Structure 1
């Protein structure tokens, strides 16, 4: 018992334990926003216990590499600095998760625009990845995009980029001060995120454009029918017709839509390498 007590009172052991726990907390702080926000990690409807297990698993895989780089020995002993590092890691994790989710947001925009024009917004269904009900096309395209993403191995590319982010922007590294060169870095990062958000919305509109154009032609056709034969109730005639045309055009263009989605998703994942550097990490 005395040997065990002496072993636990060993200063070197206590220091190593402190470094290990602090480093694990910093790694988890970056991973938690990613697991919470990225759709292909289950989304908001996944039980928190599952997300916790996924965070622990990813952290256990990443921890040895970060530890071997000497990150634990470089951690500050000050609780105030550790708190700052925790907040920094949450910010980095949120930024990476936001960028990785933009391609799926584009899919949601496309599905919502399709159903708004086809008149299918009242027929909603619950999305497993979201704690909300969405229109049928949005649900279909979102689930299909997630399956396609996994099938083509996009999750492996994302996990590789996530692991690289710990190498380029280590947990123990502070972000540059928001003055001078640091202010320019923050402005560049904010500009990039804003530009990516706008491009995601534009991509969603582009994906939905063939259906919107087809529905517009149907509306023109129904207007001509109403003009030539006023006794025909074009409102009730047009509802199933527009829904059928929307589904047909969407299915015909599904291959192109998924190609656009995967190109954008892989581009967003590639930015996981550039973002840590832009935020003050190593190139």
Structure 2
């Protein structure tokens, strides 16, 4: 093969390479932020391979491309930065329900005593066991059910709503992200609300018992009652908590669609 023919093939692949690079720039932050595309627990090589595979699929099968060719490397760098910024926004929105599960679990462990299991001898740690448990439970429920295809579909349809290089950071999109972050925080507090009520009940019971029998030292019963009572409340309410968190994941499709409309 002559050098001229090779150069002609490389020039013909130029638009495809640019489109794949821009798709990868948008998907890369999503793969690092959202656990459905890898998250922080997945090895970096796996996440990069997944991003490259999805980018090639979007270009080859989805027909995602640029409306006009790139004229300079400076223009290409600006488009890459735009796609990275929009990818960070999409990744944050897609990861908010899972962050709400982790925040709710940490709130529950805080009410039970920082990490309730850590107060037991030779058991537990200072990490939030409930937070990590709810986080991984939600990831398992989403990936094993019919919710994950809805989120993946919303991510793919986002390339049709916001074309490559068409993202514009607007004030409305920024305020939308702030509102969604506040909603995720409220969801985390709502997840821990039953535990807060249970711990207040335990404290009231101990206070009344100490007032009725001041000669009996009931302070040592506080930590065991919080551990056992909190565990019972968590066990009984785990189904309700999962339904609330799954509802947040289901709402991701609508929030991503609205974010795309606000970012144009």
TM-score, L = length of structure 1: 0.84
Which of the residues 131, 137, 145 maps onto 1:144?
137
1:56 partnered with 2:52: yes
In structure 2, how many angstroms separate the alpha carbons of the residues matched to 1:170 and 1:96? 14
* CA RMSD, 1 decimal: 2.0
Give the drift of 1:72.
4.5
- 1:175 alignment partner in structure 2: 167
- 2:121 alignment partner in structure 1: none
Give the drift of 1:270.
2.3
Which of the residues 126, 143, 157 maps onto 1:164?
157
Give yes or no for contact 1:31–1:55 (8 Å, CA) kept in 2. Answer: yes
1:23 partnered with 2:23: no
In structure 2, how many angstroms separate the alpha carbons of the residues matched to 1:54 and 1:175? 23
Give yes or no for contact 2:151–2:252 (8 Å, CA) kept in 1. Answer: no
Give yes or no for contact 1:20–1:72 (8 Å, CA) kept in 2. Answer: no
Q: Could you list the per-position Cα deviations for residues 160-181 of structure 1 after superposition, in whole angstroms to 9, with x for gaps in the alignment?
A: 111111111121x3334x7xxx
Shift in CA distance, 73/7, structure 1 to aligned 2, threshold 3 Å: farther
Shift in CA distance, 213/222, structure 1 to aligned 2, threshold 3 Å: same
TM-score, L = length of structure 2: 0.90
- Give the ranges of 4+ consecutive aligned residues of structure 1 lying more than 4 Å apart after TM superposition: none
In structure 1, how many angstroms separate the alpha carbons of the residues matched to 2:13 and 2:262? 32
In structure 2, how many angstroms separate the alpha carbons of the residues matched to 1:123 and 1:81? 55
1:43 partnered with 2:39: yes
Give the drift of 1:110.
1.1
Matches within 5 A, 1:177-196: 186-196=170-180
- 1:182 alignment partner in structure 2: none
- 1:257 alignment partner in structure 2: 241
Give yes or no for contact 1:207–1:257 (8 Å, CA) kept in 2. Answer: yes
- 1:106 alignment partner in structure 2: 100
1:225 partnered with 2:225: no
Give the drift of 1:152.
2.0
Give the drift of 1:73.
6.2
Structure 2, unpaired ranges of 5+: 119-125
In structure 1, how many angstroms separate the alpha carbons of the residues matched to 2:246 and 2:53? 26
Give the drift of 1:122.
6.3
In structure 1, how many angstroms separate the alpha carbons of the residues matched to 2:30 and 2:219? 46
- 1:9 alignment partner in structure 2: 7
Q: Could you list the per-position Cα deviations for residues 158-209 of structure 1 after superposition, in whole angstroms to 9, with x for gaps in the alignment?
A: 11111111111121x3334x7xxxxxxx111111111111111111111111
In structure 2, how many angstroms separate the alpha carbons of the residues matched to 1:43 and 1:230? 53
In structure 1, how many angstroms separate the alpha carbons of the residues matched to 2:227 and 2:116? 12
Give yes or no for contact 2:202–2:226 (8 Å, CA) kept in 1. Answer: yes
In structure 2, how many angstroms separate the alpha carbons of the residues matched to 1:51 and 1:232? 58
In structure 2, how many angstroms separate the alpha carbons of the residues matched to 1:111 and 1:187? 32
- 1:121 alignment partner in structure 2: 115
Give yes or no for contact 2:26–2:87 (8 Å, CA) kept in 1. Answer: yes
How many matched pairs? 258
- 1:130 alignment partner in structure 2: none
Give yes or no for contact 2:33–2:95 (8 Å, CA) kept in 1. Answer: yes
